[in-house]
Structure 1
Amino acid sequence: MQIYNNNSGRLEEMQEKGFLLEKDMQKLTENNLDSIFGLEFIATEFQLHNLRIDTLAFDNETNSFVIIEYKRGSSYSVIDQAMAYLSLMLNNKAEFVQELCRKRKKFIDTQNIDWSARRIIIIADSFNRHQKDCINFKNLPVELWELKNFGNNIITFNHLKPTSQLESIHIDNEQKKSSDIKPILTYNEEYHLSGKPHIISGLYKDIENFILDLDSNFDIEYKKFYIAFRINRKTFFDIEPYQNFLRLYINLKKGEFSESGFFEDVSNKGHYGNGDYAVKIHNMEQLMKIKLYLEEAYTIKKQILSQS
């Protein structure tokens, strides 16, 4: 990513200053976990057995732990480190949940955590070609982020996404017998729409295209129970595909959105999607009416985020 300084109409490319210490990268990230990644900070320098986790965080949307590691240079193995941390987490679930309980000062049952959605984030000033190729396995829960410092208070976080979809990494039978590690699941559009009637798949594609047309910055993230539409890690809409309908959530709090009773108030009901407004979509006629509300909700959400 090239960054330029506008000097009286003449663009001058800014040179990267870098970070002197990994600790500087860690402190900057931990202070901005929510705004950059949408994560809750749990602990720093969390040590368990012979491993030390730089940053332990929690994703409240997926109800899962996230481990963040920081690197300067590129002389390390992405796969080796990721698997070591995943193994540490899955074989010490109680200790991770205990740390979460300590941070929140309340009891949390280990069974309430979605261990299949755990992931590793590796933040570095740069990655080599081999490291970038490592994340092309379609079921590897590892994210690579480049963090760059250009001076003059200019910082960039760049998410390096897979360039292809290679085969899954499988756990052999002996390894499965010797531990309770479950296969790493891949959530994607096929996972959510497989086996659904054509009308449901068609409704989903229609509403997906409509949301993406609202703003080119929308990203789609496939979670275990729903499909999230997000901008800069902030969720605007969630969709749960079922056999006979789509359930759509608007991520606004009760009272922030005037929808004339068209949506259901789920503020006091348990649900997977984010937000206090939900609606079932059975057919195209319903969808056409809902699109007007989606555009309004998108505008309200943007205004709220700009003021926060």
Structure 2
Amino acid sequence: MSDIKLFRIASGAVTELAGTTDTVEKSVQVLFEKNLESLLGVRFLATEYTTTHGGRIDTLGLDENGCPVILEYKRASNENVINQGLFYLDWLMDHRKDFQWLVMEKLGKAAADGVDWSAPRLICIAGDFNRYDDHAVKQMQRNIELIRYRRFGPELLMLDLVAATSTKGVFIDTKGSVPDGGAGGGNKYKTIGTVLQELDPGLLDRFEALRAYLMALGDDVHETTLRFYIAFKRIKNFACVEFRPSTGKILMFVKVDPSTVQLEPGFTRDVSNLGHFGTGDLEITLSKAEDLEKAKPLIELSYGAS
């Protein structure tokens, strides 16, 4: 499945750079763990984490949505890291308290309280994958990503999202709301599953138009439903969507520097210093169908940066 080529252009001549992968798996693991947040938007928690059944998870992390992440690195072409990672993912779901204690030790109580178990992820890293890996992932209703890496000389690293699947089911907790653990005290937030049931036909139609546009941006886009919002991502989030049924509005947060755009009251807002669900410093309010056209250039900027 390797089809990426990189060329250097100098003095009118074109020279192909030979892509390589490390034969020693540990060096790849160390590289990713030292730069996990920059590369994948995942905060590092632990390496070679020992499970209660004697297994060892290569890398544990917490993503930008607060979801647990397991990373497994493929050592050999015939190694089945997907099945191995799914085994560890099931173990993790049965040992949530152990994971949350780890988060508390590494990142603090606020991060531990905010762990979102609605969309745990498995990321498999390899020099290459075959068509059977791609096919297998597409049959599984789990959040799995296959990421291929290549080195081009000592200074260039390429990441290629080969395949990704996301759970499509909506998370609905038994009470339909979750206590606010922040400064707000006793407030409650409705889960996204509850909110979606409250959307009127017009608001639902506008969301479907937005979703269709986001998903059509590229084959590498996938959608993940979390507790309080819906994330659209490539390797990292590029759009997070919430709803305000009472006012008929869709709120979308994108990764665009607010200082680089002309803010329009009622349409765009700088939320870099305001708490909100999801990721992104620019809030876009979609109040009517025509707002999607205005938002498209900003969405494309965020997509390109993700």
The answer to whether TM tops 0.5 is yes
Matched, 1:158 2:163: no
CA distance in 2, matches of 1:141, 1:230: 12
Q: Which residue of 2 aligns with 1:26?
A: 29
* Kept after mapping to 2: 8 A contact 1:2/1:13: no
Q: Partner residue of 1:122?
A: 124
Change beyond 3 A, Cα 1:10–1:217: farther
Amino acid at match of 1:46: Y
TM-score, normalising length: structure 2: 0.70
- The answer to whether structure 1 residue 259 and structure 2 residue 259 are counterparts is no
Does residue 39 of the first structure (1) align with residue 42 of the second (2)?
Answer: yes
Pairing of 1:1-308 with structure 2 (within 5 A): 1-6=3-8, 8-49=11-52, 50-61=54-65, 63-104=66-107, 106-107=108-109, 112-161=114-163, 185-187=167-169, 196-208=199-211, 219-224=221-226, 225-230=228-233, 233-235=236-238, 237-241=239-243, 245-251=248-254, 256=259, 259=263, 261-262=265-266, 271-275=276-280, 278=283, 281-284=286-289, 287-288=290-291, 292=294, 295=297
Query: Structure 1 residues 148, 297: closer, same or farther in 2, change over 3 A?
Result: closer
Q: What's the CA shift for 1:44?
A: 1.7
Distance change >3 Å, CA 302–CA 75, structure 1 → 2 = closer
- 1:88-134 CA-to-partner distances (Å, cap 9, x unmatched) read 21222121111111112x33586742223111111111223322221
Secondary structure at the aligned position of 2:109 is classed as coil
Higher strand share: 2
* Same amino acid, percent of matched pairs: 26
Contact 2:72 2:81 in 1 (8 A): no
2: distance between equivalents of 1:279 and 1:17?
41
**TM-score scaled by length of structure 1:** 0.70
1:158-179 CA distances to partner (integer Å, 9 max, x unpaired)? Answer: 11125xx9xxxxxxxxxxxxxx
Change (3 A) 1:53 1:240: same
Q: 1:132 to 1:267 in 2, by over 3 A?
A: closer
- Residues 116 and 185 in structure 1, CA contact (< 8 A), matched pair in contact too: no
Preserved contact between residue 138 and residue 186 of structure 1 (Cα < 8 Å): no
Q: Distance in 2 between matches of 1:37 and 1:210?
A: 24
- Shift of the 84–218 alpha-carbon distance from structure 1 to 2, 3 Å rule, reads closer
SS in 1 for 2:31: helix
Q: Deviations over 1:241-295 (max 9, x none)?
A: 46563421334799747635426787787643335665654433xx43x754774
Secondary structure at the counterpart of residue 248 of structure 1: strand
What is the CA-CA distance between 1:39 and the residue it aligns to?
A: 1.0
Counterpart CA distance in 2 for 1:41 and 1:216 is: 28
> Are residues 72 and 208 of structure 1, via their aligned partners in 2, closer, same or farther at CA, if it must alter by over 3 Å?
same
Checking the alignment, whether the CA contact within 8 Å between 2:231 and 2:237 is kept in structure 1 is no
Question: Is the CA contact 1:97–1:110 (under 8 Å) kept in the aligned structure 2?
Answer: yes
CA 1:231–1:146: 2 relative to 1, 3 Å: closer
Q: What RMSD over aligned residues (CA atoms) do the two structures have, in Å?
A: 4.1
Partner residue, 1:171: none
8 A contact 1:218–1:229 mirrored in 2: no
In the alignment of these two chains, the number of paired residues is 275
Distance 1:136 1:151 in 2: 33
